[in-house]
Amino acid sequence: MKKIAIVMGSDSDLPVVQKAIDTLESFGVPYEVHVFSAHRTPLEAAEFTKGARKNGFGAIIAAAGMAAHLAGAIAANTTLPVVGIPVCGTSFLGLDALLSTVQMPSGIPVATVAVNGAANAALLCIEMLAIEDEALARALEEKRAKDTKAVLEKNKGVEALYNKF
Ligand code: RP5
| Domain boundaries along the sequence of the chain | 3-132, 134-165
- Model pLDDT for residues 120-134, shown as the tens digit of each residue: 999 999 999 999 999
pLDDT of residue 80: 98
Residue pair 82/71 in contact (Cβ under 8 Å)? The answer is yes
Q: What is the pTM of this model?
A: 0.96
Give the whole-angstrom CA distance, residue 73 versus residue 111. 13
Given the CA of residue 63, which atom of ligand 1 is nearest to it?
4
Give the whole-angstrom CA distance, residue 112 versus residue 90. 20
> Is the minimum distance from the CB of 91 to ligand 1 under 6 angstroms?
no
Q: Please, which residues have CB within 8 angstroms of residue 154's CB and are 6 or more apart in sequence?
A: none
The CATH number of the domain covering residues in 3-132: 3.40.50.1970
- Mutational test site, ligand 1, from 7, 8, 12, max ligand atoms within 8 Å of CB: 12
